[in-house]
Chains A and B, each alone.
Chain A
């Protein structure tokens, strides 16, 4: 059974940094496309970053230069390093596998002073 478990969300001041983690079981992170989708309160879905099995990375324009996706094969974990956070980054962040076959439960990031 595939499980994705996100951690690392919380309340952070504008300009601050957070690192989200997505621990995977039942799949090998480095063998798959994986990524991060966020959902602002009461809003729709936005794909913010993807990392391919070969290690290529992609970012939405809204986060380019501020967010970095990475993975640790030894821990079978996906990460999203988020810097220079803004109020508009407030959202539930989900990690997902491939074309969305599996999703984590999400972790809430709130950017507020």
Chain B
């Protein structure tokens, strides 16, 4: 199975400051069709996960542009340019290049 490793697992941030989450995969996520199926999800307390980013760097409709994704191969990053109070929650990366689809352990973002 592809192991997805996120860091940090806990991220205290100051309102208005940037934040960055790393996600590394145990093997390349480049698919045979040339796409890299790496997504980012946000799970607010008591809610279902919601997708923020798909295929590394594509923001879903309705997602604020302060969220951005980057990376390639096995190394990926989610960045929040200026953290707002509503960004509190747990963030997961997920790969769906290889079965079984796997998630990172989650990074808990909280306001300092």
A binding-site residues for B, Cβ under 8 Å: 35, 37, 44-47, 50, 58, 60-61, 94, 99-101, 103-106
Contact = CB atoms under 8 A, between A and B. Distances in A.
Interface string B63-84: 0000000000000000000000
A105 B51 CA distance: 14
Contact of B96 (A46, A61, A99, A105): A99
Nearest to B55: A99
B41 A104 contact: no
25 contacts: A37-B49, A44-B92, A44-B104, A45-B41, A45-B92, A46-B103, A47-B100, A47-B101, A47-B102, A47-B103, A58-B100, A61-B100, A94-B48, A99-B37, A99-B51, A99-B94, A99-B96, A100-B39, A100-B54, A100-B94, A101-B54, A103-B50, A104-B48, A105-B48, A106-B48
A50 B99 contact: yes
Interface string B93-112: 01010011111111000000
B51 A101 contact: yes
A61 B106 CA distance: 21
A88 to B, nearest CB: 16
A44 B48 contact: no
Contacts of A105: 48
Nearest to B102: A47
A46 B54 CA distance: 18
A105 B39 CA distance: 19
A47 B102 CA distance: 7
A103 B105 CA distance: 19
B100 A60 contact: yes
A45 B100 CA distance: 12
Contact of B51 (A45, A61, A94, A100): A100
Contact of A45 (B37, B49, B55, B60): B49
The interface centre, meaning the residue of A35, A44, A106 with most chain B CB atoms within 10 A of its CB, is A44
Given A94-B49, A103-B48, A103-B49, 6 more contacts: A50-B99, A60-B100, A100-B51, A100-B94, A101-B51, A101-B54
